[in-house]
Structure 1
Amino acid sequence: MGNRQQNLAAIYLKNFLIANKMMVLKLPGVFCFIFLLVLSTEAKEIPSTVDVSILGIFHPRHIRVEGKDTFDIILKEDIINVNGERKREFFSLENPTIELPGKIKRTYRGIVKVFPNGGELLIINKVKIADYLTSVVGAEMGDGPYEAQKAQAIVSRTFLVKNLHRHKDFDFCDLTHCQVYKGKESETALSKKAVNETNGIVLLNGNKVADVYYHSTCGGKTADLNSIFDKKNTSIISVSDSSYCQASPYYHWDWKLSIKDAPFNKIKIIKRAADGRVTLIEVDGKREKGWQFRMKIARKYGWNTLKSSWFYIRKDEKYFYFHGRGLGHGLGMCQWGAKGMASKKKKADEILKHYFPKLRLCKIY
């Protein structure tokens, strides 16, 4: 068939699909046909803005909001005091700068709402999705190569669409529990370009927006979702990362814990997944999941201690020694691996196909 016949066939097909209430979407080298009636609601009801809880990690009781005017906001007896005037809530003008005196100062796009909440101030940033993603991609991918930034933009957008209203009073927090968000501080020219050029593109699992994950460093092989969290999910599988993330400072790591400071006396690895992660561990005779043990240790001693569930243990008379690989849960896209692939001239769609082989790209808005 010649080019003219192919073009005519494509036009006839497109008109047929539109007439039959089907959505026709084209990506480079990919056609995505989705029935509007069965496309999940999270893909059809996407707001223009999201509400993000900011700076909650500081448990603020006193903040300063700067813009056209400056407002000192202090929490007193579950009522906020704004420049000496008692109020139940506060709304800023556009693009305010928020300062926690002596701690941190950041500028945010959109507006900020402040409410009393359980003995501290709840600060909500209402921000356009594109601006939010620009900040997230900059914070999560840093100065990584452009194709890695595009891959991050698509994964972060997919996470956003799938997880709207993740918290009771807002959509997302600004920490790794959701996605790292730092307002204008983390925006870059590349992150803005990556978000704009991938506008509306997400990953699908079947005809639904996919559950996606990403992490800093896999250590050579990503994790299988079923082995980490015992979830019945066949879309997030373990893949070999070859040498892509070897440049990460967390590809290999070591940490030692003094026996006298350890919250246990005996520890034994019982079971590993095929990807190397510890799935079952025995601590003083009691068994627990590997990821639960890792989180418990990290919360007690810091997140830079037991960096992943892929570790080995040895002991002498003074210390428990942990030797491990990777940083984070290991699921989905390895960010250092994405950088490595991009540095070897891989495109964003190739990066995503590598880390999410069971998912497909689609432009949903």
Structure 2
Amino acid sequence: MSKIVTIAGSPSAISSSDALLSHVTRRILRAGHQVTPLVLRDLPAAALLAADATDPAIAGAVQAVDEADAVVIVSPVYKAAYSGLLKVFLDLLPQFGFRGKSVLPLVTGGTPAHVLAVDYALRPVLNSLGSAHIGQGWFVLASHLRVFPDGGVLIDPASAVPVAQVTDHFLAGLTHHVSASSVPVGAGRVSPVPGDPDLTVARVNVGDPELQPLLDDLVIEYGTRYGAVTPHSQLTEVPVTDFDAPHGVFLVLTQNGETIAGGAIRRYDDQTAEVKRVWTSSRHRRRGVARRLMAELEKAAADLGYRRIHLTTGPRQPEARSLYLAAGYHPRFDVNADPETIGPLAFAKELVPGAGFTEWEEPAWDRPGARHGRRVGVSG
């Protein structure tokens, strides 16, 4: 376990850079590291501007950086560079305040014109502070970060995928594992046909080590998007025994020994399987893996004797919604309504023609917020 200091460089109490940092912090904590957050706008302004190292709050912040093994810095772009608030804090650190430390820089901005702010503005300063290693870092468009009043954050896949990759690479370096960049990412599309040998499909039990990447990423994803700890975001809303045979199953898809996708089914009623825990590794998206996963889950459900499938996804999971629609699932909600006003988005699909689905009842949910007294949840 490493000690990691996160430095929030935004002067605004509500900011896209803070939203990004909240997501990255979840990934760090889920990996088992210790996090000390430094929110620079909360430091005493007079002492910060005067570089008064005798002020207790300033001294504590400097000490936290000194004692850390690594640092994550997130800042908005102002006037083509990182924030002045961050500059003031970096200036009061000792000459080699980052000596021996790995640093991950992340920047948010309103236009792609500032995409080089990490390399041309921030990286030279981090080098001058003696950083042992500076991660690749990433620039995220502010428009790719939708912040909800409850603290949830929806990150556009165009930014979510590279942020996950640079964060995982940074963390892999801390634990001396093979870095994420050294493992080839599959570039080719996979077959949509269940059973095709281009992927290995295995039925596993809850607790199998192959499931851990899937479960860890789902907890991070749900926590980020819904901004709260609930049974759904912690994957405890249904008993894990629901996924045991003969009524359920957990599938993992692997390629070259790497778990790249997974999902589960459980009994919903005598004729209906419910799909849960659908996940695809951020390193293997846009390859058709999720469509293949759904085909494998449908085959597994049919093998267990189910005639139809029911599933739900949360209102802040547009990628899942698009996947299910593309895979031929019938939406049981108004597709033109704002998802935030609906809550869980229910879908259905017949595995056997004529199995029907109009008589099914909607499930109950644990988090308040939707119209008609229904409750908002996330898919599992």
TM-score with structure 2 setting the length: 0.22
> Greater relative contact order (Cα 8 A, min sep 6): structure 1 or 2?
1
**Normalized per residue, which structure has more strand?**
1
